[in-house]
Structure 1
Amino acid sequence: MFFVLSKTLGIMALPLNFLIALGVLGSLLLMTRFLRLGRTLLVLAALLLAVCGFAPVGNLLLYPLESRFPAWSPSQAAPDGIIVLGASIDVDLSAAHSTPVVTAASDRIIVTAALARKYPNARVVYTGGNANLISGEAKEADFAAGLFESLGIDKSRLMLENRARNTYENALFTKALVDPKPGERWLLVTSAFHMPRSIGLFRKVGFAVEPCPVDWRVGTGRDVLSFTDVAQDGLSRTNIAVREWLGLIAYRATGRIDQLLPGPPG
């Protein structure tokens, strides 16, 4: 129930979807006696689309998420295992073409493969099922094996978790699969903006992992106030940021994380 509700509300609350719906409502009202309200909604939708597309709204919302954890330092001791969260593989397109089709979050797989080659004794876990609200039988992890093998990672090192539909299930099912032992060091690879929520969920299920953020969408603090000349890019960052903040709020409200914005220990 939580999965269906979160997916439905999450789709509706995305800024782009919401503003398009607002514009459609305004257009419909133009044909009624609420003409003035319709015009107001149309103008408001257009202005907010422009602001979200060109102004640094997405940057301002993403930067606190992406800067929460520093990049992982290779100077540390070799890890026992590397966990990469799903969302790097488009399940439907992969199933349609019978080959892995990666998404904009492909950095997760690329960095994990590089780490796996650097640390040949580390186990590699890919956790990802089918996160679509209406899903078929295809699972992300089922396509991940061939993708990692093509990047030079032997299949014998891979552990595939293909049931998880969201980040909470990533943490829960991965812990059950890995059964981490005291003293083991596990890296968690996911997008930088997604790391606070992921760390909070792994902590909640009792699996201590070390953050290895990748796939940044904003540069340094100096870039936060930068405007963009491509509205699609600004809208994409705004959508990602709003979805992530809504996820943090929902998980905090339901007690699945202990802080609204989990950060480094201490």
Structure 2
Amino acid sequence: MFFILSKILWAVAVPSTFLTLLAVAGLLLRPWFRRLGGALTAIGVIGLLLAGLGPFGRMLMVPLENRFPVYAGDGGRVDGIIVLGGAELPVITAARGTASFQESAERILAMGELARRYPQARVVFAGGSSSLSEQPMQEAEVVRMALPQIGLEEGRVEFERLSRNTAENARLARELIEPKPGERWLLVTSAFHMPRAMGNFRAVGFPVVAYPVDFRTTGDPGFFRPFGSVAEGLGFFDLATREWIGLAAYYLTGRISSPFPGPN
């Protein structure tokens, strides 16, 4: 139920969508409720411009990306690598017949690089489908198709194919892996997603080491540096807002024990 409700509510709560609907509602109401319609239209339009051209998306993203530092190998043993899904484009992959990914594809590149760096480590990909509608293939299938492109044999990677969100990633990955005390596992996901992911793995009793990738900022909020286009700024604002709302929802529902998980 949590998964379904989160998808439905977010479909409307996406800032760019919500502000657009607000502006449209204002235009529709204006002939009958002039002042109310004008106010709603102004709020929607001004909100879109501020979120799209202002620095707010970057300001929200930077604390998320800076929460966990870039992984610095200390020469110690690495027993396993967990890569979270989210970069895959199953519909396009099924239609085109070739593995397709969006911006977060660095997760998959990191999987190939780490698998070669630690040849004795287990490699696990966790991801089924995060969509409410039926997909032509799972995220795991897209990754399986891409393995030759990153230089890995199919038998090298174990797949967890049922998880639909970050909480299920952690729980089902732990059930698949059955980690032993003292083992050291790296967790690979986008830097902005790492706080929520680490919180979920800690909640299921699976201590992992953060390996953030897919950085979207330099680490500087850039208060006086606007985005190049409204679309770019809105993309940042939507993504960062979604992650902050996700952290709040996971904390309030007991899926993570801290509102903003950080390094131990």
Q: What TM bracket, shorter-length normalisation? A: over 0.9
RMSD (Å) for aligned C-alpha atoms: 1.3
Match of 1:115 in 2: 114
Residue 170 of structure 1 aligns to a residue whose secondary structure is helix
Q: C-alpha distance in 2, partners of 1:149/1:210?
A: 27
Give the alignment's TM-score, normalised by structure 2.
0.96
Contact kept, 8 Å, 1:218 with 1:224, in 2: the verdict is no
Residue 104 of structure 2 aligns to a residue whose secondary structure is coil
Question: Which segments of structure 1 move beyond 3 Å, counting only runs of 4 or more?
Answer: 222-225
How far apart are residue 5 of structure 1 and its match?
A: 0.3
Query: Cα deviations across residues 126-151 of structure 1 (Å, max 9, x unaligned)?
Result: 11111111123510001212212321
Match of 2:17 in 1: 17
Q: C-alpha distance in 1, partners of 2:177/2:147?
A: 19
Q: How does 1:46-57 map to 2 (within 5 A)?
A: 46-57=45-56
Q: C-alpha distance in 2, partners of 1:218/1:24?
A: 32
Contact kept, 8 Å, 2:58 with 2:221, in 1: the verdict is no
C-alpha change, 1:135 and 1:48, in structure 2 (3 Å) is: same
Q: C-alpha distance in 2, partners of 1:13/1:205?
A: 29
Residue 2 in structure 1 maps to residue 2 in structure 2: yes
Match of 1:212 in 2: 211
Residue 263 of structure 1 aligns to a residue whose secondary structure is coil
Residue 100 of structure 1 aligns to a residue whose secondary structure is coil
Residue 200 in structure 1 maps to residue 199 in structure 2: yes
Q: C-alpha distance in 1, partners of 2:91/2:57?
A: 28
Q: How does 1:237-248 map to 2 (within 5 A)?
A: 237-248=236-247
Q: C-alpha distance in 1, partners of 2:97/2:44?
A: 40
How far apart are residue 75 of structure 1 and its match?
A: 2.9
Percent of pairs with identical residues: 43
Match of 1:26 in 2: 26
Residue 126 of structure 1 aligns to a residue whose secondary structure is strand
Query: Cα deviations across residues 13-42 of structure 1 (Å, max 9, x unaligned)?
Result: 1110101110110111123x2022112211
Query: Cα deviations across residues 36-75 of structure 1 (Å, max 9, x unaligned)?
Result: 2112211211111110011111111111111000000123
Query: Cα deviations across residues 175-228 of structure 1 (Å, max 9, x unaligned)?
Result: 011111111111000000000000000000011110000111111236355211
Q: C-alpha distance in 2, partners of 1:230/1:143?
A: 31
How far apart are residue 231 of structure 1 and its match?
A: 1.4
Match of 1:63 in 2: 62
Per mean C-alpha deviation after superposition, the further-off stretch among 216-225 and 251-260 is: 216-225
Residue 72 of structure 1 aligns to a residue whose secondary structure is coil
Contact kept, 8 Å, 2:69 with 2:212, in 1: the verdict is yes
Contact kept, 8 Å, 1:63 with 1:224, in 2: the verdict is no
Residue 95 of structure 1 aligns to a residue whose secondary structure is helix
Residue 130 in structure 1 maps to residue 129 in structure 2: yes
Q: C-alpha distance in 2, partners of 1:137/1:181?
A: 36
Contact kept, 8 Å, 2:128 with 2:164, in 1: the verdict is yes
Query: Cα deviations across residues 152-182 of structure 1 (Å, max 9, x unaligned)?
Result: 1122210011111100010011001111111
Q: C-alpha distance in 2, partners of 1:164/1:246?
A: 20
C-alpha change, 1:122 and 1:223, in structure 2 (3 Å) is: farther
Match of 2:142 in 1: 143
Gaps of 5+ in 2: none
Q: C-alpha distance in 2, partners of 1:229/1:102?
A: 24
Residue 189 of structure 2 aligns to a residue whose secondary structure is strand
Gaps of 5+ in 1: none
Contact kept, 8 Å, 2:59 with 2:222, in 1: the verdict is no
Match of 2:263 in 1: 264
